[in-house]
């Protein structure tokens, strides 16, 4: 382990916001009231401490209003904490809003230089990186056009491209990666992964547990401005998942936690072996089925069923659902089963966990979600591969 000091140290930081009763921001109103504005105070951050080791990726997780974005803005020095201290070592770049400070009337080229200098790049650095920036955004043909004629996607792409080229020591990201088309998002994530490998310190604000698990080394879970948990990302994510969404009434069966509104309940999740009997151990290449038993207390139109298969360490392997497979039931009521038949299970030996969920048509409302409702072991089978990994390609070697 290196002995370098932490990249970010946050000591007992508290941030107070004022909630004004009447938003009277005028001298006239101040005179009429004969004094100061009336407001209530609330603590968006309450005695928060943590540190981020140099070269690691750190997650700030929490629900909306938990203070995670406020924390990020404090790290970026946009907000000033009322108490406590924050030390950030090195050059900071904050991706809070892409293209902040673009001037609509100016061309893309002029805005690259303007935005770049806002983010702390010198003209020389910008000139050297200009072609990269434009190429990454894919805007070669449009770079001399005023940005007001850009589509929102082009705008965001250029903004990200400038921000990512700042070459910061510490990069702060506020869920901005959820913009642009899928291809661009993937390139953004690759770029962030590059920076990670170059040993940059990255702080991500997110409420996506997948992001935390796959991207972060450590994490802090904030709730109502207080630290609920801190530590390794996987543990914090589990704790967050376990406590935030717990529907205590529903925690009857299975070892995992569950949440949801309960119109539909997943009463059992099973793995059926080749013989059609429940199994907790199968082999690579076996024909298997995953069976969800549901109980709909009232008729539910067009529900979506889904599975999430992951390793016990938390790496997601696959997440099939009925919506994407375009298998839709008009409505369900009472009890029944949903099967996912797998002709050949191409998982390599190991222990896997299965989560199951039933949601509404749009996958925004969860009826029932059972986290890690089932575990099963995969034993060596055919194809026989024992050199590690999660899945087999089931390919054929040919040597000519």
Partner 1 sequence: MTKLHEITSRRELFVNLTLRELRGKYKRSALGWAWSLLNPLTTMAIYSFVFGYFLKVTPDPGDPSELKSFAFYLICGLIPFNFVSNALNGAAVTLTGNANLVNKTYFPREILVGANTGSWLVQFFIELGLLSVALVFVGNVVLVWLPLILLMVAIETVFVLGLALMLAPAAVYFRDLQHLIVLVMQVWFFSAPIVYPISYVTDRFPVGSWQYTLYSLNPMVRFVGAYRDLMYNLRAPSFGDVAYLMVVAAAVMVAGAWVFGRLEGRLAEEL
| 86 near partner 1, rule: CB under 8 A | no
Among 13, 45, 48, 94, the residue binding partner 1 under the rule CB under 8 A is 94
Whether the Cβ atoms of residue 41 and residue 18 lie closer than 8 Å to each other: yes
Q: Give the single-character DSSP code of 49.
A: E
Among 118, 253, 317, 329, the residue binding partner 1 under the rule CB under 8 A is 118
Binding segment for partner 1 among 52-60, 99-107, 245-253, 348-356 (CB under 8 A)?
99-107
Encode 339-362 in three state secondary structure. EEEECCCCECCEEEEEEEEEECCC
User: Measured between alpha carbons, how far is 206 from 68 in angstroms, rounded to an integer?
Assistant: 8
Among 54, 114, 145, 329, the residue binding partner 1 under the rule CB under 8 A is 114
- Residues 224, 230, 232, 234: what is their CA dihedral angle, to the nearest 10 degrees? -30
| 101 near partner 1, rule: CB under 8 A | yes
Binding segment for partner 1 among 108-116, 235-243, 307-315, 325-333 (CB under 8 A)?
108-116
b (16+ CB within 10 A) / e for 222-252:
bbebebbbbeebbebbbbbbeebeeeeebee
Q: What is the footprint of partner 1 within residues 9-28 (CB under 8 A)?
A: 17-18, 25-28
C-alpha separations of 363 from 10, 94, 242, 267 in Å: 37, 31, 20, 20
Among 117, 208, 228, 289, the residue binding partner 1 under the rule CB under 8 A is 117
C-alpha separations of 232 from 90, 192, 222, 334 in Å: 24, 20, 14, 42
From the CB of 354, what's the least distance to partner 1, in Å?
A: 41
- Identify the helix (H) or strand (E) that includes residue 270: strand 264-272
Binding segment for partner 1 among 53-61, 90-98, 236-244, 281-289 (CB under 8 A)?
90-98
- Cβ proximity to partner 1, 123 vs 365, nearer residue: 123
Whether the Cβ atoms of residue 360 and residue 286 lie closer than 8 Å to each other: no
| 123 near partner 1, rule: CB under 8 A | yes
Among 92, 229, 250, 356, the residue binding partner 1 under the rule CB under 8 A is 92
The site for partner 1 (CB under 8 A) is made up of 17-18, 25-28, 30, 73, 76-80, 92, 94, 96-97, 100-101, 103, 105-106, 110, 113-114, 117-120, 122-123
């Amino acid at each position: 382990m290196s002995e370098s000091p932490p990249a970010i140290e946050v000591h007992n930081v508290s941030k107070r916001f004022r909630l004004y009763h009447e938003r009277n921001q005028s001298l006239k109103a101040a005179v009429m009231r004969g004094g100061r504005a009336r407001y209530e105070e609330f603590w968006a951050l309450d005695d928060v401490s943590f540190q981020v080791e140099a070269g690691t990726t750190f997650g700030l997780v929490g629900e909306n209003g938990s203070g995670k974005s406020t924390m990020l803005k404090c790290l970026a020095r946009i907000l000033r904490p009322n108490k406590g201290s924050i030390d950030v070592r090195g050059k900071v770049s904050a991706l809070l809003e892409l293209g902040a400070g673009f001037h609509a009337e100016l061309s893309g080229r002029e805005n690259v230089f303007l935005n770049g200098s806002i983010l702390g790049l010198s003209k020389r650095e910008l000139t050297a990186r200009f072609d990269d920036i434009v190429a990454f955004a894919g805007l070669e043909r449009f770079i001399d056009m005023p940005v007001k004629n850009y589509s929102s996607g082009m705008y965001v792409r250029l903004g990200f491209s400038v921000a990512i080229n700042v070459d910061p020591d510490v990069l702060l990201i506020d869920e901005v990666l959820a913009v642009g088309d899928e291809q661009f998002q993937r390139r953004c994530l690759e770029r962030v992964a590059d920076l990670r490998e170059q040993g940059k310190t990255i702080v991500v604000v997110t409420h996506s547990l997948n992001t935390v698990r796959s991207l972060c080394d450590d994490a802090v879970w904030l709730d109502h401005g207080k630290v609920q948990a801190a530590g390794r990302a996987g543990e914090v994510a589990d704790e967050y998942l376990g406590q935030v969404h717990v529907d205590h009434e529903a925690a009857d069966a299975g070892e995992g936690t569950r949440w949801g509104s309960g119109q539909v309940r997943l009463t059992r999740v099973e793995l059926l072996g080749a013989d059609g009997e429940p199994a907790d151990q199968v082999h690579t290449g076996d024909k298997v089925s995953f069976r969800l038993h549901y109980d709909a207390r009232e008729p539910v139109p067009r529900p979506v069923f889904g599975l999430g298969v992951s390793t016990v360490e938390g790496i997601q392997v696959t997440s099939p659902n009925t919506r994407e497979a375009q298998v839709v039931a008009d409505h369900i009521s009472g009890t029944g089963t949903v099967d996912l038949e797998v002709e050949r299970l191409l998982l390599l030996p190991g222990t896997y966990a299965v989560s199951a969920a039933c949601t509404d048509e749009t996958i925004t409302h969860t009826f029932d979600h059972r986290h890690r409702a089932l575990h099963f072991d995969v034993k060596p089978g055919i194809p026989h591969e024992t050199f590690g990994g999660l899945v087999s390609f089931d390919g054929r070697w040919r040597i000519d």
